[in-house]
Structure 1
Amino acid sequence: MKNKPYAQSGFTLVEMVVVILILSALAITAYARIAHIDVQARQASLQSFKATVVSVATMAKGVCMSDPQCASNQPTSSAAIEGNTIYFSHGYPMGWRGNEDGTGTLQQLLEVGNFSVQPSLSDTNRAIYYLQGARDASHCKLEYTISTGAASSSGLTVSIDNSGC
């Protein structure tokens, strides 16, 4: 009888180690890419909220300018928007304290979602919105400020701090 040569059945230890090293390198690369995806999502949420705030404030200012009772050169005025009385400061919706419960302000015009407004603002010309679930909420926020200089220089500033998202 003829003896058959030995046929290899399986992988050698060297082949297994090489495959494990290649898979490890791929896993490290994938982890590096997805490790900060939650941070990027929170930063994108903050950018999106900023765009929403600017749009709502700009559209509300347009409504105010078209309403004879809400002149943009008056420090404080009001206009009806969708059946609600919204208070304005220098032509923009107030940041927070229109009424004691916060109604009649920018807060009433926004769908804030995962954002919470600073509850103790006494300044009607600003509001600070914090993103809930951020690593450092004090540095993952949006600030809405109406500058109250001369009528010609008054304007809206919406800034974000995303360093703690």
Structure 2
Amino acid sequence: MVQHALLRKPQSGFTIIELVVVIVLLGVLAATALPRFIDISTDAQKAVLQSMGGSILSAANLVHAKAVIQGVSNEPLTTIDLDGDGVDDVEIRYGYPSASRNNGLSKIMGGDFSTGWTWSTTYGDTRFWLTTAKLGGRSGVYVNQTAVLNSGCYILYDPATTQGGSPAVSFVTTNC
């Protein structure tokens, strides 16, 4: 028996047609699934607000603990020295930060609060509104509440209004 010099080996790999079909299928999947994952900015903005809301409540509870220690947690309106330097730092209502635009909640926020957020209060400082500087159109400033409310994506802080009461944080996320 004579062996042929040109024995055919079985083919390995993909043909060009198979590769084209796979690429087309990946394109179709990307076109239908990608838009769902690309627009995650709404979820991100809501998460930022929820994170800040948690930070606000944590900071308010720390202020309250300090007010209890200093014996002023039952006062309807007073100020408190947080750092022990003899200067009152924050205005409080019943031991929690007030909604004052100058001396209340905004005084206890740290980090990028002064550049990353826009806030406003009601007349008489009964409610505090807060949104990101990007959504509010301004950075690190107190503004008329219209800028915050028009964002449709903000935090509401309602200070304690009675002895033994506590502040409340709620969210408006209709346009995040």
Kindly state the Cα deviation for residue 67 of structure 1 after the two structures are TM-superposed: 0.6
Which whole-Å deviations, capped at 9, do the CAs of 1:40-77 have from their partners, x for residues lacking one?
Answer: 21111111101100000010011011113x2x222111
Distance (whole Å) between structure 2 residues aligned to residue 124 and residue 109 of structure 1: 16
Distance (whole Å) between structure 1 residues aligned to residue 33 and residue 116 of structure 2: 28
**Which runs of 4 or more aligned residues in structure 1 lie more than 3 Å from their structure 2 counterparts after TM superposition?**
134-138
1:72-151 residue pairs with structure 2 within 5 A? Answer: 72-82=73-83, 83=85, 84-85=87-88, 86-97=90-101, 102=102, 104-111=103-110, 112=113, 114-118=116-120, 121-134=122-135, 137-149=150-162, 151=163
Question: Matched residue of 1:148: which SS?
Answer: coil
Distance (whole Å) between structure 2 residues aligned to residue 155 and residue 67 of structure 1: 18
Partner of 1:60: 63
Distance (whole Å) between structure 1 residues aligned to residue 125 and residue 38 of structure 2: 40
Kindly state the Cα deviation for residue 147 of structure 1 after the two structures are TM-superposed: 4.1
Which whole-Å deviations, capped at 9, do the CAs of 1:97-131 have from their partners, x for residues lacking one?
Answer: 4xxxx1x311011032522101x632333210022
Gap regions ≥5 residues in structure 2? 1-14, 137-148
Distance (whole Å) between structure 1 residues aligned to residue 129 and residue 118 of structure 2: 8
Partner of 2:16: 11
Kindly state the Cα deviation for residue 137 of structure 1 after the two structures are TM-superposed: 5.0
TM-score, scaled relative to structure 2: 0.70
Say how many residue pairs are matched: 149
Distance (whole Å) between structure 2 residues aligned to residue 141 and residue 26 of structure 1: 35
Which whole-Å deviations, capped at 9, do the CAs of 1:19-60 have from their partners, x for residues lacking one?
Answer: 343122231255134222222211111111011000000100
For the Cα contact (< 8 Å) 1:43–1:162, is it kept in 2?
A: yes
* Deviates most, 38-47 or 105-114: 105-114
Distance (whole Å) between structure 1 residues aligned to residue 98 and residue 31 of structure 2: 49
Distance (whole Å) between structure 1 residues aligned to residue 39 and residue 30 of structure 2: 15
TM-score, scaled relative to structure 1: 0.74
RMSD over equivalenced CA pairs, Å: 3.0
Gap regions ≥5 residues in structure 1? 1-9
Question: Matched residue of 1:133: which SS?
Answer: helix
